Amino acid sequence: MDNRAEIRAFLKSRGDKITPEQAGLPAYGARRVAGLRRSEVAMLAGVSVKYYTRLERGSLGGVSDAVLDALATALRLDDTERTHLYDLARASGRTAARARSSAPVRPAVRAGVMRMLEAMPTLPAFATDHRFDILLANPLGRVLYAPVFEDASCGANTARSCFLSPAARQFYVDWEKVAQTAVGALPAPAAVHSRP
């Protein structure tokens, strides 16, 4: 099914609703577009401008759940809009990612945590779940941890990025220590969530 026009309209309309100030970004001079620019949405979602431009032009085929979740967070989609984004991706023949019905339910980020991140515009910050998936990040957090967000194979997961991303050893000043900490932290949540 060719739903590129619908995808284009949906993503553009959601980006148009958010001002740079609402997203915690500086706004310089006169702007030719309402809302966020493509480059701003791409930065907030942790993807390249070229990749986001392709998505905004309606090409959601093969897009991972992690990228869709990052887009939904960057565009501040509510639950209904997030579901619609997944439906659009599924209808466009998304093959690389699991269908929404079989995707694990990601925990919702509490409003208090969201407000805390928004209240720290001068500090990089992000919130993770028990699997070390980054659920929400403020703009500086996305910039500082750009290598984690840019590697689509790691799905914005700090532990996977540490071990699977070729850029991790250059990104972390003391990679050995970070790797040891990650290994030590992983069994605890795994044990809690694997109990019958």
**What contacts 56, CB < 8 A, 6 or more positions away?**
7, 8, 11, 12, 15, 38, 41
The length of the chain, given as a count of residues:
196
Tell me the pLDDT band of 148, cut-offs 50, 70 and 90. confident
Residue 23 reports pLDDT greater than 60: yes
User: Under the phi-then-psi rule, with left for phi > 0, alpha for psi from -120 to 50, and beta for the rest, what region is 132?
Assistant: left
- Give the model's pLDDT for residue 110: 73
Tell me the pLDDT band of 1, cut-offs 50, 70 and 90. low
| Residue whose pair of structure tokens reads 């995808």 in the numeric block | 7
At 101-130, the pLDDT tens digits run 434 445 566 777 878 888 888 999 888 887
Residue 84 reports pLDDT greater than 50: yes
**Full-model pTM:** 0.49
- Give the model's pLDDT for residue 65: 82
**CATH for the 4-102 domain, from 1.10.260, 1.10.10, 1.20.120, 3.30.2450:** 1.10.260
- Give the model's pLDDT for residue 191: 43
Task: Parse the chain into domains and list their residue ranges.
Answer: 4-102, 111-194
Rounded CA gap, 176 and 53, in Å?
36
- Give the model's pLDDT for residue 137: 84
Residue 96 reports pLDDT greater than 50: no
Average pLDDT over residues 84-97: 72
H or E stretch at 127? strand 126-128
- Give the model's pLDDT for residue 82: 87
Average pLDDT over residues 34-40: 84
- Give the model's pLDDT for residue 108: 60
- Mean pLDDT taken over the chain: 79
